[in-house]
Structure 1
């Protein structure tokens, strides 16, 4: 049982009454956003959050990759068009892969890939899409700090509008993502729209934030960002099965 009353059976990767679980999830749909967003506050407890943060920072330094604006860890394998060469998922991540998969997020499949991103205060990521290597669902658990996830229309020809297609005029809406929440994006929100995080240290909330009430926030509120760690949990359908043979010359 999660903090918000969704029943989940993780033991053995099983699931009880999947139709009921999917039905329970509908209460968390963000109706003021395009299809489909589920925002579940307090998906994990404060103790779970602390445990996951400890595991992230106990990981070997070699697991970290430094990028512009953030650093990350890749778990489960490296997705590739020809297929992902699967690596063993550590227990501390596998538990949450199974927990989220049991909600039906990946159409009955189990998540097999986790990207751990660390964003320090003032860091962000340019608008992007996740691409075709994944099942068309992205799920994210946030640790440590909130952020605003911004969504944009893709660059394209707009009838009757010859103005330059800037990031500003393609902006559609934001989602407030608080610590310990679970965010699930599917359908148009995954397939068509770009998402990004603006690099800033404070966020002033406006009515462009589609899930204000669900996140327990109000317009005009200003939130200070700290260091946020996100667990982006996905399913890679195409996995290469190979055996590494050692000792041969």
Structure 2
């Protein structure tokens, strides 16, 4: 993967790439304003918003009636950036926004394999946090601090053979220092390949 950007893969599972400063603080503020002007869904322990397609958490699927329409223009602009930078090959048609308040996280998982194509991109907004990867067969763990405005790309082994999670806690250890979490939003960009 050569995105024509500064990126790093050291300390990450094979197939994962971390792209620092993918968007500016001004672009981040615009995204947060649009999200907060929308309707957050509180059906989970964290608040979420779906765009393009709604993901069914109970069925772990994208159902045929889940289409919500095209991505709004403000998300399409980011999708275009991801493609023009070479981070994604094709325009995504599904985005989920997850809001994490201090103490909230998401359990270890692999994004739905039959639902979405090979490349998943997560864009972090507002606050940093630690993401933990675990190799499904060996149990090996790797962790990365996701800074605001960075993109994390998962493909290949990182996409299919490792789980990823945000541990539910109020602080993280960063360079040996305890760093308190604040409100964080992630935008996950995916391409639907199959509905059931």
Matches within 5 A, 1:176-215: 176-205=145-174
Q: 1:246 aligns to what?
A: none
Q: Could you tell me which of 118, 124, 147 is aligned with 1:142? A: 124
Matches within 5 A, 1:32-47: 32-47=11-26
Q: Could you tell me which of 44, 50, 66 is aligned with 1:74? A: 50
Q: 1:117 aligns to what?
A: 98
1:153 paired with 2:132, answer no
How high is the TM-score relative to the length of structure 1? 0.69
Instruction: Tell whether the 8 Å contact from 1:74 to 1:116 is kept in structure 2 after alignment.
Output: yes
Instruction: Tell whether the 8 Å contact from 2:100 to 2:185 is kept in structure 1 after alignment.
Output: yes
How high is the TM-score relative to the length of structure 2? 0.86
Q: 1:90 aligns to what?
A: 72
Aligned alpha-carbon RMSD (Å)? 2.2
Q: Distance in 2 between matches of 1:98 and 1:23?
A: 14
Tell me by how many angstroms 1:78 deviates: 2.5
Unaligned runs of 5+ in 1: 1-20, 159-169, 206-218, 241-249
Q: Distance in 2 between matches of 1:40 and 1:29?
A: 7
Tell me by how many angstroms 1:194 deviates: 0.6
Q: 2:191 aligns to what?
A: 235
Q: 1:67 to 1:29 in 2, by over 3 A?
A: same
Structure exhibiting the larger radius of gyration computed from Cα positions: 1
Tell me by how many angstroms 1:82 deviates: 5.9
Give the secondary-structure state (helix, strand or coil) at the position aligned to 1:93: helix
Q: Distance in 1 between matches of 2:123 and 2:150?
A: 6
Instruction: Tell whether the 8 Å contact from 1:129 to 1:190 is kept in structure 2 after alignment.
Output: yes
- Cα deviation, 1:217-240, whole Å, max 9, x if unaligned, reads xx3122110000111111112479
Q: Distance in 2 between matches of 1:38 and 1:181?
A: 11
